[in-house]
Amino acid sequence: MRVVVSITRKDGLSDPEGATTAKALRQLGYPVGEVHFGRTITLEVDAADAAAARAAATDMCTRLLANPVIEDFTVFVSEGEAVR
Amino acid sequence: MKVAVVVFPGTNCEQDVVHALRALGGTAELVWHGDADLAGADGVVLPGGFAHGDYLRTGAIARFSPVMTAVDRLAAAGRPVLGICNGFQVLCEAGLLPGALVANRDLRFICRPVHVRVESTASILTAAATVGDVLRLPLNSYEGNYTASAAMLGELAATDRVVLRYCDPCGAVTEEANVNGSLDAIAGVANAAGNVAGLMPHPERASDEILGSTDGVVVLESFLIALRLAAVR
């Protein structure tokens, strides 16, 4: 089962890349507030169902993929079709 | 009294640390990260470099190396554990030290000597120094920007665990002197017991006249003194 994990910088932590990009977007006329960079990790998880895949990915994030001091994470599980 | 200097794949400062510790009369040996024990060592240094390529996050993979179980045990036993640069990042990821190290404020790799002020002498990092001492040490990192939650920062300050702060040559902590944008200009911290500590600058690269500074000696001396004290306790 394909699982996509999105890892983002915690609010309040400085994100110079995001701040600079936000400024550029505003200069182009887009009504953009804060912009945050993060990373996505795509995992092929061997799991019986979506709930099990979600639980496994959440555990992976907690132990290794994300650092709770500086990052938040969100888990997206595909229910059949691949997550794009 | 032996010091284990851990080598992860991508570590590149291990020989410098061994050389500097031996020059100060210490006994130091390299230990491979895949080993399950520290070869009977009484203390451990995690040196600088790019453990496991710094993939995922600096120190994130290294903290699960087999040797880290033995490092945990040594730390719990009150023996000195020192992390330098990448080693500091590994100790933070491992939860042996609080906080985390993120990309420098200006998103540039910093490779130059900086000044740090000794803020506390309560840990193995600076026990042989004096509060207010200014040390000139080489900094060599991209992820050297220390951060922690507001609650943790308060706890660090209240418990005298901020060991080093970036400062100017006169010892003033200014925004300009805080080269990587670290929270509260923190360059080095210790755990609650004071036996685990980490710093971003490299004391081993300032341990001989030929290197342009011997200011790092007091840091390595502090570690070696702690090693002897912990062993007789």
Residue A61 in domain: yes
CA–CA separation, A43 and A41 (whole Å) = 6
Give the whole-angstrom CA distance, residue B200 versus residue B186.
9
Residue A45: give its domain's CATH number. 3.30.1280.10
Q: How many domains does one find in chain A?
A: 1
Extents of the domains making up chain B: 2-232
For residue range B131-157, what is the model confidence (pLDDT) as tens digits? Answer: 999 999 999 999 999 999 999 999 999
Q: Is residue A33, in this structure, part of any structural domain at all?
A: no
State which CATH number among 3.50.50.60, 3.40.50.880, 3.30.56.10, 3.40.630.10 fits the domain covering B2-232: 3.40.50.880
**pLDDT given at position A80:** 58
* Domain assignment present for A18: no
Q: How far is CA B78 from CA B7, B75, B129, B193, B210, in A?
A: 22, 5, 20, 8, 34
Residue ranges making up the domain that contains A70: 2-12+38-77
With helix as H, strand as E and coil as C, how does chain A read? CEEEEEEEECCCCCCHHHHHHHHHHHHCCCCCCCCCCEEEEEEECCCCCHHHHHHHHHHHHHHHHCCCCCEEEEEEECCCCCCC
Task: Please judge whether B148 and A64 are an interchain contact, meaning their C-beta atoms are less than 8 angstroms apart.
Answer: no
Tokens 């059949």 belong to residue: A80
As given in the structure block, the two tokens for residue B61 are: 């993979």
> How far is the C-alpha of B136 from the C-alpha of B128, rounded, in Å?
16
**Residue A48 counted as domain residue:** yes
Question: Model confidence over B77-109: pLDDT tens digits?
Answer: 999 999 999 999 999 999 999 999 999 999 999
Nearest to B107 among A13, A17, A67 (CB): A17
What's the length of chain A? Answer: 84
The answer as to whether A50 is a domain residue is yes
Quote ipTM for the complex.
Answer: 0.85
Could you report the per-residue pLDDT of B44-73, keeping only the tens digit for each?
A: 999 999 999 999 999 999 999 999 999 999
Residues of A with Cβ-Cβ distance to B97 under 8 angstroms: none
Q: Which of B63, B201, B210 is nearest to B220 (CA)?
A: B201
